[in-house]
């Protein structure tokens, strides 16, 4: 099992999703459960970002993506962001 950790920004994003987009929040909850088991496969179309080494993305809805990294050495998934699209930044 992978340990799931969140950046401060990601925590704010999760709380905002909970209030503003219940469907995206529910999908996020499902994906977080999957990340603990297998961070490279599952729902949300997991894909490694092409131009940012070591970062992965999963779709929450058309507008929002979950961005995360996986550290195999300490068996941890670090969630960086959960709102917006990586090209919006």
**pLDDT interval class at 2 (50, 70, 90):** very high
For the chain, first and last CA: distance in Å? 31
The neighbour count for residue 84, using CB atoms within 10 Å, is 13
The strand ranges marked E within the chain are 3-6, 47-48, 55-59, 65-71, 76-81
Tell me what pLDDT residue 41 has.
Answer: 93
Tens-place pLDDT, residues 67-86: 999 998 889 999 998 887 64
Task: Confirm if 67 and 57 have CB atoms less than 8 A apart.
Answer: yes
Tally the domains of the chain.
1
Range(s) of the domain holding residue 68: 3-88
Tell me what pLDDT residue 83 has.
Answer: 84
CATH number, domain of 50, equals 3.30.2310.20
- The pTM of this model reads 0.87
């Amino acid at each position: 099992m992978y340990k799931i950790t969140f950046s401060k920004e990601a925590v704010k994003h999760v709380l905002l999703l909970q209030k503003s987009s219940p469907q995206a929040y529910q999908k996020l909850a499902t994906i977080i459960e999957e990340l603990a088991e297998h961070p490279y496969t599952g729902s949300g179309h997991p894909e490694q970002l092409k131009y940012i080494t070591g970062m992965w993305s999963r779709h929450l809805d058309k507008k929002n993506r979950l961005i995360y990294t996986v550290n195999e050495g300490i068996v941890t998934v670090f969630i960086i962001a959960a709102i917006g699209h990586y090209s919006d930044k």
